[in-house]
Amino acid sequence: MKRKTSDSGATFSFSIFRSFTLTIALTIMVLSGILHFYFEDLLLKRTYAYTLNNLAQTSQEASIMAVNARTFAKQIYNDLNVAKLLYFSTGDPVDISSALAQLNSYRATSLFIDSIYIYNYRSETFYISADVSANAVWKADEFYDTVALDMVKRVSDFETLMPIPRKIPLAGLMTNEQEKERDCYTFLLYDTLSRNREKNVIIVNISETQMHKNIDGMIVGSDKNTFIIDNRGVLITNSWKDAMLTDLSGKPYIRKVLDDSDAEGYFVSDVDGVKSLVTYTAPDFLGWRYIRIAPYNSITSGINKMRVVTIVVAVGILFAGLLSSYLISRRLSTKVNGKLVKLTALETERRDQILALRQDLIRNLLLGTGNANPDGLDEKFKAYGIRLDAGRPFAVSVLKIDRYKEIERMYGSGDRTLLKIGIINIAQELLAPVCPSTAADMGDDRIAILHNLPESASGAEAVLTENLWRQVQSAVANYIKLSVSIAVSGAGGDARSVNRLYGQAEEALFHRLFFGHGCLLYADRIEPLKAKPYVYPISKEKQLIEELMLGRIGEVCRLFRDIVEETAGYSYMSFHLAVSHLAFAVNSAVSVIRKNNDIAWELNINALLSGLADAETAEEVFRPFFEVFERVSASLEEKKQARHDETVGKIMAIVREKYMRQELSLDSIADELGLSAAYIGRLFKKHTMNTILNYIIEVRMEKARELLLATNLPVGDIAERTGFSNSPYFYKAFKKINGVTPADFRRNGRIQEGTARVIG
């Protein structure tokens, strides 16, 4: 009984102690929390007031920039020298030079000014002052700043003397190869009273870099990020993390600023994974808002120290109670954590499964292996979150990655999948404002995009314009560093036409062979080619084979290219037919050449056609054929050289064998060889740098010298034995070649021989 009471007391005491400990700890935590939040709120308000004042100065700097730019533009407009560039379609070079010098002077007066353009719409000429180009005068169709050209063509769409944030494209300039584009603010000044669509325009480009240094220079090296956005949430300046003109409207903290349309303020939010204080101004007269992001920890570091001290004290008091609570909650938390892990895994699995099912649905629809009935298909679209209407008109686009073999060598399977996901995201983002679209990875180098066209659309090309697709290709090249070729089908009916449209786009994409990488093909333009009858040019093939037999490889390559490239105006099957015809014809011709010239190597026709299916451009088809042509040419040249060497050897042998015959001559040698005298004369001269007649004389003189020294025969007999027709000619020729008469040669030779014997 006493034991039970003791146990009950101990249990009661433990309960009281635990409750007492938790009550005190809770009281301390609540009080410290109230103090912490009070001081924190006070600190945030003071920081906000300081930052807002700082941003007001920043806004003032931007206003000064705008006012200066306007002043410069008006000053340039009123300059009489510059007026000659604006209003005269043709000008005196001296006047132009003077005006350009004046523009350079204006630009040099301020670091803010990046460049100045004067556009004369009558002469369609830009006069520029800039540090990126050696040329100061540009015709409109050659001007590197294509954005400025577009602006002056529709200048009435822009408000005069208001800053237009943009990027100056510099990629085409040979004098500025490293810098591809430059950020600036463009001010346009033009005659607003003129009713002409095209106007003379003064363009002043203010450097974003210089302005940003000026308005943000006071915080260089700090952990704060200051930038400007417009009323759509687009960056007007470069920030630490994003480039100018980046659309930030999708970020939650920017969305919150935009929702507070006409007011200034601050709030604490997660910014790119970091808790931060966001301070913003009301829109200025330009409609710009100035924003500063400061890490929350850097602001509240002092309060955090106080909170740490408070927590340390509270922890000492709480330790006993928390220890017991930990033992109790441990079992419960283990069970709860297990449930949460399982729930997270199930959610991830469900999301991945829906994505896979969505891809399978679109692929099956494109390949014609799924149910295309609009009634049942709309339910599946809705279930998988696909925003397409199965009953509306469709079009299909196929994007093919160029140089895919190189991509396969550079990246693994997983990385290639990520690259294609990147292409899909870019395409869908740019297509979203135009029409509902969804994409599917079709394996290897292909991506297919399914589009819903408006009921009123006259065709796919009217909705999916060339300009739109060029934006997609440009964005893929800039952000993913890949080139893609695109084929767009015609417009079809409801979802039941999708498989036919996909085949149409795939077939159109075969013509990338002729149009090259980065091409854009519309099936409606390609389809008429299929109806044109193709007639294989047998006469050109015959001419090609004749030139190949003669070893004229340059002409062979030209004819081959002509035959293949002519098929670009017909169906893709015409291309296959022409290449196959040529492969068999070349194979037969090479067999004949090998047989006639005893050439050892063999040609495998499969080697000519092996790359046909995988070729991306016509040049890849040409390459194996051209290699065969070069090899044939080299073999023929080698055999020709061998025959020439053999002929020269025969000529020399005939001369050494028959030098004593007076009738030995160029014609007699030609008759003996069965060749023309002119041919063997040219051939011998080319290979020996000597004529046949001179060679005959050299051999005869060599034999004459031998006989003079070795025999006592009279000189006349020696002349006769060595083929000379008469002694006087022999005497004359011998002295000319040897420098002495035959008798002197014999005497001198024998004296030298006797002297040598005496010495020996």
Q: What confidence tier does 2 reach under pLDDT thresholds 50, 70, 90?
A: very low
Question: In the sheet that 164-169 helps form, which strands lie side by side, from edge to edge?
Answer: 137-139, 125-130, 113-120, 201-207, 181-190, 164-169
| Cα–Cα distance for residue pair 46/40, rounded to 1 Å | 10
Return the number of other C-beta atoms located less than 10 Å from residue 435's C-beta: 18
What is the model's pLDDT at position 314? 60
What is the model's pLDDT at position 13? 46
Q: Of 14-23, 201-210, 334-343, where does mean pLDDT reach its minimum?
A: 14-23
Contact 127, 117 (CB under 8 A): yes
Residue among 243, 57, 274, 706 nearest 718 (CA): 706
Neighbouring-strand partners of residue 155: none
| Cα–Cα distance for residue pair 564/583, rounded to 1 Å | 12
Q: Classify burial at 162, counting beta carbons within 10 Å of its beta carbon; exposed 0-12, middle 13-18, buried 19 or more.
A: middle
For 96-121, letters b (16+ CB in 10 Å) and e give beebbebbeebbeeeebbbbbbbbbb
pLDDT digits (tens, 9 = 90+) for 253-305: 889 888 887 778 888 888 888 888 899 988 887 888 888 888 888 777 766 66
The residue that leads in pLDDT, 212 or 537, is 537
Using the predicted structure, report yes or no on whether residue 248 has a pLDDT greater than 80.
yes
What is the model's pLDDT at position 481? 92
What is the model's pLDDT at position 219? 43
Kindly state the tokens that stand for 142.
């050659």
| Cα–Cα distance for residue pair 464/483, rounded to 1 Å | 19
First to last CA, the chain: 151
Q: ∠ at Cα 107 (106, 111), nearest 5°?
A: 125
Q: What confidence tier does 3 reach under pLDDT thresholds 50, 70, 90?
A: very low
The residue that leads in pLDDT, 549 or 124, is 124
469, 475, 519, 644 from 484: Cα distances, Å: 10, 11, 8, 54
pLDDT digits (tens, 9 = 90+) for 119-176: 988 888 999 998 887 788 888 888 888 898 899 888 888 889 889 999 988 876 766 6
5, 7, 17 from 11: Cα distances, Å: 10, 6, 10
What is the model's pLDDT at position 6? 45
Helix-then-strand count for the chain, H and E:
27, 15
pLDDT digits (tens, 9 = 90+) for 646-658: 777 888 888 888 8
pLDDT digits (tens, 9 = 90+) for 73-123: 888 888 888 888 888 777 678 888 888 888 888 888 887 898 999 998 888
Contact 155, 189 (CB under 8 A): no
Residue among 516, 528, 498, 531 nearest 398 (CA): 498
Q: What confidence tier does 752 reach under pLDDT thresholds 50, 70, 90?
A: low
DSSP 8-state symbol, 198: S
Contact 236, 211 (CB under 8 A): no
Q: What confidence tier does 250 reach under pLDDT thresholds 50, 70, 90?
A: confident
486: region left, alpha or beta (phi > 0 left; psi from -120 to 50 alpha):
beta
| Cα–Cα distance for residue pair 21/585, rounded to 1 Å | 100
Look over the chain and give the mean of its residue pLDDT values, rounded to a whole number.
81
Using the predicted structure, report yes or no on whether residue 756 has a pLDDT greater than 80.
no
Which H helix or E strand runs over 622? helix 618-658
Using the predicted structure, report yes or no on whether residue 750 has a pLDDT greater than 80.
no
What is the model's pLDDT at position 220? 44
Using the predicted structure, report yes or no on whether residue 251 has a pLDDT greater than 70.
yes
The residue that leads in pLDDT, 697 or 345, is 697
What is the model's pLDDT at position 236? 84
pLDDT digits (tens, 9 = 90+) for 595-636: 766 666 666 666 677 667 678 888 888 788 888 878 777 776
Tokens 């004098």 appear where? 175
Q: What confidence tier does 438 reach under pLDDT thresholds 50, 70, 90?
A: very high
What is the model's pLDDT at position 352? 67
What is the model's pLDDT at position 521? 93
pLDDT digits (tens, 9 = 90+) for 357-377: 888 889 999 998 888 888 888
Q: Of 261-270, 349-358, 432-441, where does mean pLDDT reach its minimum?
A: 349-358
The residue that leads in pLDDT, 65 or 390, is 390
Using the predicted structure, report yes or no on whether residue 186 has a pLDDT greater than 60.
yes
Kindly state the tokens that stand for 190.
């033009």
Percent of the chain with pLDDT over 90: 15
What is the model's pLDDT at position 602? 65
Which H helix or E strand runs over 49? helix 2-77
pLDDT digits (tens, 9 = 90+) for 494-515: 889 999 999 999 989 988 888 8
pLDDT digits (tens, 9 = 90+) for 569-596: 888 888 888 888 888 888 888 777 777 6
Q: Is the dihedral of CA 103, 104, 108, 112 positive or negative?
A: positive
pLDDT digits (tens, 9 = 90+) for 460-474: 888 899 999 999 999
Return the number of other C-beta atoms located less than 10 Å from residue 295's C-beta: 16
